[in-house]
Amino acid sequence: MDFELSDEQRMIQRTLREFTDEVIVPQARENDRQERFPRETIQQLGQQGWTGAPVPPEYGGMGLDFISEAILFEEIGRGDSSIRTTLSVQISLVELTILRWGNEEQKRTYLPRLARAEIIGCFGLTEPGAGSDPAGLRTFARRANDRWVLNGSKTWISNGGIADLAIIFAQTDPAQKHREMAAFLVERGMPGYSTQDIKGKLGLRASNTAELILENVEVPKENLLSKVGDGFAIAMSALDNGRYGVAAGCVGIGQACIEASLKYAKERHQFGRPIASFQLVQEMIADMIVETEAARLLVYRAGHVKNLGKKSTLETTIAKLYASEAALRAADRAIQIHGGYGYSDEYPVERYWRDARVATIYEGTSQIQKLIIGRESTGIDAFA
């Protein structure tokens, strides 16, 4: 693996850093305070092609590699994890899932519009009684002539309340559990499909989160993704992609914590000198830098494996586990360095902590990540 970014990747990094600093950062605090979804910013990113970064050009995307995708999520995540979450769902969970599992008609129908953010997508897997255990879904799909009829609900769905397209997972034979699970492409406007926004979240407050409600939703048979029985495999492959995006975004949080702490520690004076001169402050900054660099390398290693077209479950899971926990520790240290100011939203570090906290929960808790690493390493499934 070459540790040097290519000229194209450095240009991508510079372009995204400038956009983040000029457009995203100035609005982040108010969007967080108001729980306001920044639709205009998402549309700008779509017009520039970033919402279709890894999608091949024949389907309307930029055709970028996975290291470039990580750079995208890191730089956007450095400014606002809410926007990064929207992009991660759009790209990792929806676009790449359709790209891998969709037929040609589905790809040409949905991918170009998703890649340009003309439509927003969401990923409907989690249910009130099925979070870490996706095989326990209670959403049910039954065949009715040339259609499928879906009944059930999903919760904690990022982008759910504003999505035009949802990938919905359902059981077709509850007795068979995950062996007969299926995935469906459900469009907003289909009769019986509705959403309810979830408010009052600790973090990611500018990211839309919603409950999805399906009451006798009739879905054309053409909207079945792949085939019945592939649903569980589709969900697991999508989560591999999603965890990669979360990990890269957490590197962005860590980097933001470092930059904010360095600036504040040089400006803030106590005992007649900048607090950056204090040994224990330097220790906290050093720990943040080391752990963020380690997280970045783990993300890049996972991206390298993905670029080779190999299975990346182990590498992606390690990166997600470490990067999310490291980001939370970095944000905690950043608040400590900022002292009382770090406890208010006058400075962004308290938002970094709130946004980092959920990264250890969604798309697989840290505990689930450890069990996946254990299974991949020992060959023994602790879930069985």
pLDDT tens, position by position, 177-193: 778 999 999 999 999 99
The confidence score (pLDDT) of residue 83 equals 98
Determine, yes or no, domain membership for 2.
no
Instruction: Give pLDDT, residue 51.
Output: 98
CATH code of the domain containing 256: 1.20.140.10
* Residue positions annotated with a catalytic role: 363
221, 305: one domain? no
Q: Which of 206, 250, 252 is nearest to 16 (CA)?
A: 252
Q: What is residue 1's predicted lDDT score, i.e. its pLDDT? A: 67
Alpha-helix runs per DSSP H in the chain:
7-19, 25-34, 39-47, 66-79, 81-88, 96-101, 104-115, 231-267, 279-307, 313-338, 349-359, 366-378
In sequence order, what are the residues at sequence separation of 6 or more whose Cβ sits closer than 8 angstroms to the Cβ of residue 339? 268
pTM: 0.95
Is the pLDDT at 134 greater than 80? The verdict is no
147-163: per-residue pLDDT in tens?
Answer: 999 999 999 999 999 99
Query: Where residue 155 sits, what CATH number does that domain have?
Result: 2.40.110.10
**Which residues form the domain of 32?**
7-120
On whether both 239 and 360 belong to a single domain, the answer is: yes
Q: What percent of the chain has pLDDT over 70?
A: 100
Count of structural domains within the chain: 3
Kindly state whether residues 114 and 151 are assigned to the same domain.
Answer: no
Q: What is the pLDDT of residue 168?
A: 98
pLDDT digits (tens, 9 = 90+) for 138-151: 999 999 999 999 99
What is the average per-residue pLDDT within 42-56?
97
Final residue in a domain of this structure, among 72, 97, 120:
120
| CA distance linking residue 224 with residue 218, whole number of Å | 12
**Average pLDDT rounded to a whole number, residues 73-100:** 98
